[in-house]
């Protein structure tokens, strides 16, 4: 897909910096920054309960293990796993 946009000078400076530091051309630097922003946006959508983990995986074209790594990288706790963990502890305590 191709989109033409007007880029503010401040963003252009960021692109220059990214392309220099990461040895990328400006288009690749812009793609990297856009992807990072989209990833961050979707992780926030997941953490606020607006999308499911499955939808997050689908939109980012990741498997569930990669999604778990991504959530860990962004310091997002998987509340469902925590709930299952605490429920398991409660069941174990009751069965003693």
What is the pTM for the complete model shown? 0.73
Cα distances (Å, whole numbers) of residue 5 to 12, 58, 87, 95: 12, 27, 51, 63
Question: What does the pLDDT profile of the chain (96 residues) look like in tens digits?
Answer: 888 989 899 999 999 999 999 999 999 999 999 999 999 999 999 999 999 999 999 999 999 999 999 999 999 987 666 666 677 777 788 877
């Amino acid at each position: 897909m191709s989109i033409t946009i007007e880029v503010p000078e401040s963003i252009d400076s960021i692109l220059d910096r990214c392309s220099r530091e990461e040895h990328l051309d400006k288009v690749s630097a812009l793609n990297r920054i856009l992807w990072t922003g989209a990833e961050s946006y979707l992780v926030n959508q997941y953490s606020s309960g607006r999308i499911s983990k499955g939808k997050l995986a689908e939109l980012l074209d990741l498997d569930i293990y990669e999604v778990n790594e991504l959530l860990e990288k962004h310091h997002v706790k998987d509340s469902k796993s925590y709930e299952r963990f605490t429920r398991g502890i409660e069941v174990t305590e009751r069965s003693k």
